[in-house]
Amino acid sequence: MYKVENPGGGLALIFESDSFQPMNTLTQLNVSAPLADELPLRAAPHNIEAEQALLGAILVNNEALDRVSHFLLPNHFFDPLHARIYETASKIVQAGKHASPITLKSFFDNEPSLGEMTVPQYLGRLAVNATTVISAQDYGRTIYDLAIRRSLIVIGEDMVNTAYDSPIDQPPARQIEDTEQSLYDLAEFGKYGAGFADFSSALTDAIEMANAAYQRDGGLSGRASGLTDLDRKMGGLQSSDLIIVAGRPSMGKTALATNIAFNVARALRAEQEAAGPNDEPSGVVGFFSLEMSSEQLATRIISEQAGIPSEKIRRGMINEEEFAKLVAISQELQHLPLFIDQTGGITVAQLASRARRLKRQKGLGMIVVDYLQLLSGSNRRASESRVQEVSEITTGLKALAKELEVPILALSQLSRQVENRDDKRPQLADLRESGSIEQDADVVMFVYREEYYVERRQPREGSAEHGEWLTEMSNVHGLAELIIGKQRHGPTGTVKVQFHANVTRFSDYKPDDHLPERIG
């Protein structure tokens, strides 16, 4: 092992590789270690030898740069000199030239000497002791991971210092949010993909998806929503999709979300029961209810399954037979893989953190967010404008769906301009607050019930118009439309469903079974 001391108290450069030959005399590096003030007792995580090996590989064969450039940046290097060498080599390669000790020499001629060795001589030494191109990506990821660890240390120290020094009137919740945002930004910035995939790999994935759809009942490539006509139109709820369900108040958005969440959770439970004990868990449904409590959601689901109006359940207006039915249904549902987070006003960063944790602990099949406008973005975006904040939220949800590879169903409000039109069927332009909702979503679906508007036009009883109103009301009673206004991988159009208002349940539309009730 060879050690290069820095008498200035900075970084001691250590070469542990047997292949690296010592210099004639001790060479001094004029560099100081980052985070020296923050970490006086321990050196920050780093691996100088990995940095030297990667730079040597790049200088010998520029193909090594192609293997790491999609995730490794100059500021990931611990040694500032190494960072400048990597940045300079990258610029030379991007300009279509060859990066080597010779072509880099002119950029470092005026650099202070490293003891008795100049920087151009050091470049030559790096190339002489280079590793193979095959190992370049492994060294790059080592450098990258250590840089992330150093960033985590800084975030942790900032958190400690802020906790000590923050004003008494600054709530701890604000600091928690800022820290979570920093961690979220680090996680988002730190994602590195595999770069380009050859078409044969993509083709294999497409065939596997088609085969899964062929084998699955109903021919669905995604999760079944439980509504046959809707699944036929969409092919199920697709992994990595952001699905927006929008509508005006009282249209049944939350009811549709709970219906779908229940159906997906029941299917996940059936898959787990059919699987072997050593198989991976099928996952759970994560329901972020920013408006309703978990007890209210549970009451809705019990009402849907028992066929007893939730109003009667809440008021205790049930008989002994109905109570026994509720108990039986609750016992059946207690093992349902449905997890509810009822925290109000959380940020998209907090939601992402909790979703990741749920996936690690339980597996994840789907996420539901009720509703999008109750989420918050970062403090910076919130200070700019609500439109920018909503854009950050939808972008974050779409990125989370891709990262976790699950469908995310998010509810959204519509603007009041719908009420000013004669035809109150919603359109994409009615999405409230930001065009980014339409842009980021893979599917935009509107819930529309004509019955809601007809009911509010009831004329005076006994008038000539009242009979016509009764006829119109009977034609739309119990009917709802799910209008697919956008779908990236399928057709748009309208799906008719039945809505049972007393138990807040959607079901498949069956014209023969649609018997209008007497109104009035």
Per-residue pLDDT of 294-319, as tens digits, reads: 888 888 888 888 788 877 777 777 78
E strand intervals along 185-259: 242-247
Lowest mean pLDDT among 18-27, 57-66, 496-505: 18-27
Return the pLDDT at 12. 43
**pLDDT cut 70: percent of the chain above it:** 79
Domain 2-149 CATH assignment equals 1.10.940.10: no
E strand intervals along 163-273: 242-247
Mean pLDDT of the region 373-394: 72
Return the pLDDT at 24. 37
Dump pLDDT digits (tens) for 56-77. 888 888 888 877 877 888 889 9
Task: Label residue 321 by pLDDT band (50, 70, 90).
Answer: confident
Dump pLDDT digits (tens) for 414-470. 878 777 777 778 888 777 666 778 788 889 999 888 888 877 777 777 677 777 778
Task: List where CATH 3.40.50.300 sits in the chain.
Answer: 223-513
Lowest mean pLDDT among 187-196, 221-230, 466-475, 499-508: 187-196
Q: Is the pTM of this model over 0.75?
A: no
Lowest mean pLDDT among 274-283, 336-345, 370-379: 274-283
- Residue type, position 357, single letter: R
Dump pLDDT digits (tens) for 198-233. 566 666 766 666 666 555 555 567 788 888 888 888
Long-range (24+ apart) CB contacts under 8 A made by 194-202 are 195/70
Higher pLDDT, 455 or 125: 125
Res. 255: pLDDT tops 50: yes
Residue 495: beta bridge partners?
482
CATH class label, 223-513: alpha beta
Task: Label residue 393 by pLDDT band (50, 70, 90).
Answer: confident
Angle 386-404/348-362 helices, nearest 10 degrees? 10
Return the pLDDT at 284. 87
Return the pLDDT at 35. 47
Structural element, H or E, at residue 29: none
The angle subtended at Cα 490 by Cα 486 and Cα 495, nearest 5°, is 70
- Residue type, position 144, single letter: Y
Return the pLDDT at 211. 64
DSSP, residue by residue, 32-61: --TTTTT-SSSPPS--HHHHHHHHHHHHH-
Task: List where CATH 1.10.860.10 sits in the chain.
Answer: 2-149
| Alpha helices in 307-422, H assignment, sequence order | 310-315, 320-333, 348-362, 379-384, 386-404
Return the pLDDT at 200. 65
Task: Label residue 408 by pLDDT band (50, 70, 90).
Answer: very high
Contact 371, 342 (CB under 8 A): no
Higher pLDDT, 11 or 346: 346
The angle subtended at Cα 147 by Cα 142 and Cα 153, nearest 5°, is 130
Task: Label residue 22 by pLDDT band (50, 70, 90).
Answer: very low
Mean pLDDT of the chain: 77
Res. 237: pLDDT tops 70: yes
Smallest Cα–Cα separation from 267: which of 218, 224, 304?
224
Most confident option among 79-83, 190-194, 501-505: 79-83
